[in-house]
Amino acid sequence: MTSPLACLPTARAVPNPRNLALPLLALLLAACTVAAIAIGAVPIPLARLPALLLAGWNGDGDTTGLAQEATVLWYIRLPRIALAVAVGLALGTCGGTIQGLFRNPLADPGLIGVSGGAALAAAAWIVVGPLLPLPDPLQSLGAWLLPVAAFAGGLAATMLVQRVGRRDGALDVASVLLAGIAVNAVTGAGIGGLVFASDDRALREVTFWMMGSLAGATWTGILPALPFLLAPALALPLRAVALDALLLGEREAYHLGFAVERTKRLVIVATACGTGAAVATTGIIGFVGLAAPHLARLLVGPGHRRLLPAAGCLGGCLILLADTAARTLVVPAELPIGVLTAGIGGPLFLHLLLRHRGRS
């Protein structure tokens, strides 16, 4: 007689269609990228793209016509698209992670105040930073310090919301959302005060945070933010199983052998880093962090190992689409991208809320 505990090999599992979803999403992101490169006020024919890329790379723009297109491609469109992809990856991945950490599919970096905290810190740096009597080497580091300031603001907001939202060792959803409202009110007031106190230059820049925009992205401008954007997108999927376990609750995650406090700290720092850097470079772009993981969950299920990369890819696609629309719909003017994403994302959120309530 075999032991009741004997584990017999099971039939080989059927291939999971979800395994295909990730490569397909990566392809979709690549396709969106190429399309976004081609479309614009100066259209760039795909057939000439390789030649233009090479021309810009070698710096020989002697053929007229090619020169203009190559300049547009290299100095205006490519940095902007690189930024869109990086911000989308960061927002999608961080959004999916925050939903897991708060054990709630309705959490979003904007709703719980992370973006607000980052925006307040960034705005404070813009307005107050130039007035500070900083020694020269620090002054020239200004571009690098902006994402750091936004990161610190995002981190402070996440930690505050986490602290306030805890009840008996577990995060209480209502408290978290209420704390997010409070944080958003305070950051809104803070930014309002800064706007009141700022001069014309600072005013323009601060207004930019409030609506979000990728316009004016330059290589020197986005380079400092890229590591902050990409590191969380790459690092968070490594904690996928721990995040899965945390969905069962902190106690269950401990029972399953995870160092809960350390995991939570790491995840909070990483999401604050990604969200903060996104806010520092593009301002507040709402609802991508909410919508991307939701779409991803429909395609690949709730497991974070597939969810986080899928949400990152979808976040990249959404930002690319929204930004391409923002810069082409009302040429020669531009729509603020935050207006577009919030305009689409707000109704989507209402829909989710209603469906969620219908189910429970």
Partner 1 sequence: MLEAVEVTVRARRRALLDGVSLALRPGEITALIGPNGAGKSTLMSVLSGHRRPERGHAALDGRPLARWDALALARRRAVMAQEIALAFGFTVREVVMLGRAPHRGRHGREADAAVVARAMALAQVAHLAERRYPSLSGGERQRTMLARALAQVIEPDEEPAGRWLLLDEPTASLDLAHQKLVLEAAVGLARAGCGLVVVLHDLNLAARFADRVAMLSRGRLVALGTPDEVLSAERVGEVYGVGMTRLELDGRPCLAFV
Identify which range of 10-18, 143-151, 157-165, 321-329 contacts partner 1 by CB under 8 A: 10-18
Q: Is 13 in the site for partner 1 (CB under 8 A)?
A: yes
Shortest Å, Cβ 193 to partner 1: 38
Shortest Å, Cβ 311 to partner 1: 13
Shortest Å, Cβ 21 to partner 1: 15
In sign, the C-alpha dihedral spanning 17, 20, 21, 24 is: negative
Q: Is 27 in the site for partner 1 (CB under 8 A)?
A: no
d(CA 145, CA 139): 9
Tokens standing for residue 354: 């209603």
Q: Which of 78, 142, 302, 352 binds partner 1 (CB under 8 A)?
A: 302
Closest Cα to residue 282, out of 196, 350, 340?
A: 340
> Cα dihedral angle (292, 297, 300, 303), rounded to 10 degrees?
110
Shortest Å, Cβ 8 to partner 1: 6
Residue nearer to partner 1 on the CB measure, 193 or 303: 303
Identify which range of 28-36, 41-49, 66-74, 258-266 contacts partner 1 by CB under 8 A: 258-266
Residue nearer to partner 1 on the CB measure, 229 or 307: 307
Q: Which residues pair with 167 in a beta bridge?
A: 170
Tell me which residue has tokens 């809104």: 188
Q: Which of 251, 346, 350, 351 binds partner 1 (CB under 8 A)?
A: 251
Q: Which of 69, 108, 244, 323 binds partner 1 (CB under 8 A)?
A: 244
Angle between helix 304-328 and 78-101 (nearest 10): 140
Q: Is 14 in the site for partner 1 (CB under 8 A)?
A: no
Shortest Å, Cβ 245 to partner 1: 6
CB-based contacts of 118, cutoff 8 Å, min separation 6 = 150, 151, 153, 154, 157, 272, 275, 276, 279, 280
Q: Is 247 in the site for partner 1 (CB under 8 A)?
A: yes
Tokens standing for residue 28: 């979709």
Q: Which of 167, 255, 265, 351 binds partner 1 (CB under 8 A)?
A: 255
Q: Is 132 in the site for partner 1 (CB under 8 A)?
A: no
Q: Is 301 in the site for partner 1 (CB under 8 A)?
A: yes
Shortest Å, Cβ 181 to partner 1: 21
Q: Is 4 in the site for partner 1 (CB under 8 A)?
A: yes
Alpha helical stretches, state H, the chain: 18-38, 49-58, 66-71, 78-101, 114-128, 136-140, 142-164, 173-197, 200-211, 219-222, 226-235, 240-246, 250-255, 260-282, 288-300, 304-328, 337-359
Q: Which of 1, 10, 17, 163 binds partner 1 (CB under 8 A)?
A: 10
CB-based contacts of 232, cutoff 8 Å, min separation 6 = 90, 93, 94, 97, 270, 271, 273, 274
Q: Is 129 in the site for partner 1 (CB under 8 A)?
A: no
Shortest Å, Cβ 249 to partner 1: 6
Q: Is 65 in the site for partner 1 (CB under 8 A)?
A: no
**What count of other Cβ atoms lies within 10 Å of the Cβ of residue 75?**
13
Tokens standing for residue 287: 């609802």
Shortest Å, Cβ 261 to partner 1: 10
d(CA 40, CA 78): 12
Residue nearer to partner 1 on the CB measure, 96 or 116: 96
Identify which range of 101-109, 219-227, 278-286, 314-322 contacts partner 1 by CB under 8 A: 101-109
**What count of other Cβ atoms lies within 10 Å of the Cβ of residue 7?**
6
In sign, the C-alpha dihedral spanning 285, 239, 32, 22 is: negative
Q: Which of 22, 241, 339, 348 binds partner 1 (CB under 8 A)?
A: 241
Q: Is 254 in the site for partner 1 (CB under 8 A)?
A: yes
Query: Are the C-beta atoms of 120 and 146 separated by less than 8 Å?
Result: no
Q: Which residues bind partner 1 (CB under 8 A)?
A: 3-10, 12-13, 100, 103-105, 241, 244-245, 247-249, 251-252, 254-260, 297, 301-303, 359
